[in-house]
Structure 1
Amino acid sequence: MAQVTTVDDVTVIATESLSKRFPRVTALDRLSVDVGPGVTGLVGANGAGKSTLIKILLGLSPATEGRAEVLGLDVATKGGDIRERVGYMPEHDCLPPDVSATEFVVHMARMSGLPPTAARERTADTLRHVGLYEERYRPIGGYSTGMKQRVKLAQALVHDPQLVFLDEPTNGLDPVGRDEMLGLIRRIYTDFGISVLVTSHLLGELERTCDHVVVVDGGKLLRSSSTTDFTQTTTTLAIEVTDTDEHPDGTRAVREALHARGVDLLEGGGGLPGAGHVLLLTAQGEETYDLVRDVVADLGLGLVRMEQRRHHISEVFTDSDAQQDTQRKEAVGHGG
């Protein structure tokens, strides 16, 4: 897809001490963050300030203080230019029920400045991309929730933006529909080079979809880093082995053999019957792998897996005090 202007290689969105205050609520509190190209997740509980931030970035709502730029354009003075280059998928259902997806998306393409023929061609291409091509002439009122979400995604993409804001795009979807939507979101960048800012209150979704994650809590920046930093590999090694006639409890045999070699196992591994239980130990470099391999081979057991455990993105909340931790986990659908 053609690019309208050259996007800075480093920063797509930048905010500096950005605040938005309402009479009784502070939606954003001195938020400073830089977002580069790719798929970025903006995560936080409902009411954390995610939708407010998007409205400010689109130039639709003025900040109380601070400043922000989108694609190098100041949101306070260049809102119209930003909206020409950015697609927006709103959270709430806002689709007319009595028109078809084709009619609606063509209309939105025309509103974005595309001439009639180009609008129809882009609409057909975009609806095919989001998986609605066969249903494109049916009235939207008869669509499922998942299909309506795809229409909203299509209208955000139809004018070939450089960046799209997707506000809670998986809301109301079943697990299959959620996975399909997340796959579509990933392809927006990998297939077309369009950067994405996607909001969600479900941390697990963003872990497997985004390159970068920004966590906001109470309007404040809690953390901003690459997904790999969030889920960085730990030094905890998980081992699972098969049982044999000679060693009907293979895990116990490995545990005893490792203990005899001076290796202490961590709590949380073992203790379950059969071949499915897992031993956990702290890896001390390559020699730990060699030792485990040799022990398992000497015992004549099969090695089902030997891998390093990874942090889950939701563990970003475990650094806070217990009360805040519990509240945040509940708010963001911990483990979702």
Structure 2
Amino acid sequence: MEFQHFTTTSDDEGRRLDRVIKRMLPSSSLSALYRLIRKGLIRVDAARCNPDTVVHVGNDITIAVIDETLSDLRRTASDFQDPTMPQTGDDRSPCPFPVLFENSDLLFINKPSGVPVHGDGGLDRLIGQAESASRSLSFRSGPLHRLDKETSGVIAFSRSLHGAQWFSEGMQTHAFNKLYLGIVEGRLEEPERWEDRDEYGRPMITRILPISDGSGSLRNISLILYRIETGRKHQIRIQSSLRGYPLLGDARYGSKKGGPYYLHAGCLKFPEDRLEGLPPEITAPLPERFISLLRKDFPENVLALVQSKAVYCSENEELQ
């Protein structure tokens, strides 16, 4: 019987065999994969194994070339690059959007408004795989969190399994400070802590700090700095609307003005025990339409405050 051989890389390290194989043979059900493993048609270093066998760097995974594996094996073999072959380039994929920071573990871009994260025309399809991911049997690089289609700003992509695991854990434990700038209808005067429940009963917690009232033709508007403590779908949009301060342009949640709303994921702050080489914070410049409104309808110093990044400084204790 013919077997196809594959060598695991650092981005497969510590994963269960069944999860690695599922990536390689996506057309097969888990029950079919378990059957192949049980029959010895999938092996690790030529030895019989179990679905929960943990793989390590340099393991030789062999898969029998039979009818139910043939088509997937052809695809995997064409995608997989031998990790022992010399590498070229700096392990960075071309990106069609402004790159805020990139290393071998993580990529941060400034997402434009109007571009979805997933699906047709989404970032997950427009931003290529990391070179290391193309050498891995099971790891695929991609977006690590979500922003709504019309929300601009900082968004993170994995470049290695280590980076993906670290970032995902930080998001789950709320170890990062996620700061947004929004322009809302109405005027807020004092810092507030908003706590609500989403449609599933889960808490939505957001701290807000008013930065400035409008002073131009749109006087009844405010620039707000948000820090979200939870990350529910449409959280800022919903909570702003519930309190009578919908985001300007967010007709779905009560804005009187049509068009794209004004919400920008401006800054992502990391704890001291962050990944090596990662700066303390990643900030994203405002899109031009946001800048234009600040220049036209807010006091002169407001745009300078935002562009200097002082608006995100730790002295804003109300958000800490």
Note whether the superposition's TM-score is higher than 0.5. no
Please give the TM-score of this superposition, normalised by the length of structure 2: 0.30
Please give the TM-score of this superposition, normalised by the length of structure 1: 0.29
- Bigger relative CO (Cα 8 Å, ≥ 6 apart): 1
